[in-house]
Structure 1
């Protein structure tokens, strides 16, 4: 457990990221979190925010001399990485639907995670692919569920791209804007926690109230 917590701290440390693969490491992590079922524990939201900070505060050209060009360049790469991850997730769900539909837990797959993805998809339909990116765990299993239920592929592609643009664009830009602020740098843990709560709380509250309304109607 200590090793896992230490790894999370490293992933949210801009200096450590730059010394260990830089933003190319972020590309890999985003792809794994959104494309591979065992990547659900990875911190995509705060990592995008920290990446924006890295772009804003990098001492050297990374890879261009203009910060704005760098920001746009890396956001496009991040979007491409998470879009590709969702395509992999969809393919995995479609190809191995018999595995993901099993009722019992396995050592590599917990039924509760698939159930969470199924419930979220059922309540939101295709739009779930877009807003699921703002929900940890759910964003990993949403494309797998979409593939499992044979969601229309063109519809999936549309919501996949829209979701990636919004998710990456908002969080990376926010990190870039606030990244050079001294207070943000010295209170990064609290800022990241606030970012996670900010992007997930509205969706969670809406789901809770909808569930209560359904229960009351019954």
Structure 2
């Protein structure tokens, strides 16, 4: 192999390696619960940064190959999480261990109870949601058809939108401000959804406590 061939090989394998790393991290975030430990390397920050890299790199990274691949990886990881929950039940989450993880699982269970189908879609934008909701949906015996449709909408909306927003934020000066605004809105929606779930959870617990006092 001469120098030119080696250069061509590196030029062609560089983008492929980049795609595989990004897609692998997205998949591992839910399927292998890596998002519990390093949510910033498997979530929104990863996608936004990957989009920026695709816009600024000189090695011909395709934003559409990258973004659609992210959506597919997110969809596949949620599918695995769902089937693990369906087949293995609660023990698959009990083995995660640690008080923070147990609290996150309890929070996610409440979020799922409150929002049902929408929890799978919205959960993609919430760190603890995208890790645990697919498994909890499986444990809760959500019908596969309902889960699959919510999974498809959430995975593609999250994976494609945030990656493409990062790309335009770096590559198109005329839409850069709009891209950052959209990214801010997406993040704000995820925060609002999380806060709303937390407040409803608190209200539910307070009402439960009042009923217990009234019954005693």
2:26 equivalent to 1:30: yes
TM-score by length of 1: 0.72
1:136 aligns with 2:127: yes
- Number of aligned pairs? 186
- Inter-partner Cα distance in structure 2 for 1:131 and 1:37: 18
**Aligned residue number for residue 110 of structure 1:** 101
Q: 1:179 to 1:42 in 2, by over 3 A?
A: same
* Structural mapping, 1:72-111, within 5 Å: 72-100=64-92, 106=97, 110-111=101-102
> Residues 199 and 180 (structure 1 numbering): CA distance in 2 closer, same or farther, change over 3 Å?
farther
Q: Deviations over 1:128-176 (max 9, x none)?
A: 0000011012210000000111110011000000001111122111101
CA deviation after TM superposition for structure 1 residue 113, in Å: 2.5
List gaps (5 residues or longer) in structure 2: 1-13, 174-180, 211-216
Q: Which residue of 2 aligns with 1:5?
A: none
Matches within 5 A, 1:135-154: 135-154=126-145
Confirm or deny that 1:162 pairs with 2:153. yes
Query: How far, CA to CA, are the matches of 1:38 and 1:32 in structure 2?
Result: 6
When the two structures are superposed, what TM-score results if normalisation uses the length of structure 2? 0.73
Structure 1 residues 58 and 101: alpha-carbon distance in aligned structure 2, compared to 1, 3 A threshold: closer
1:59 is paired with a residue whose SS is coil
Q: Which runs of 5+ in 1 are unaligned?
A: 1-17, 63-69, 183-190
- After TM superposition, give the deviation of residue 73 of structure 1 in Å: 1.6
Q: Which has the larger radius of gyration?
A: 2
CA contact (8 A) 1:38 1:108 kept: no
* Equivalent residue, structure 1, for 2:8: none
Question: For 1:119 and 1:106, how far apart are their aligned partners in 2?
Answer: 19
The one of 118, 121, 129 equivalent to 2:112 is 121
Could you tell me whether the CA contact under 8 Å between 1:52 and 1:172 is conserved in 2?
yes
Counterpart for residue 60 of structure 2: 61
Larger fraction in helix: 2
What SS is found at the alignment partner of 2:116? helix
Q: Tell whether the 8 Å contact from 1:27 to 1:81 is kept in structure 2 after alignment.
A: yes
Q: CA deviation at 1:112?
A: 1.7
Q: Distance in 2 between matches of 1:213 and 1:114?
A: 18
In structure 1, the residue matched to 2:39 is 42
Q: What does residue 7 of structure 1 align with?
A: none
1:179 CA drift (Å): 1.8
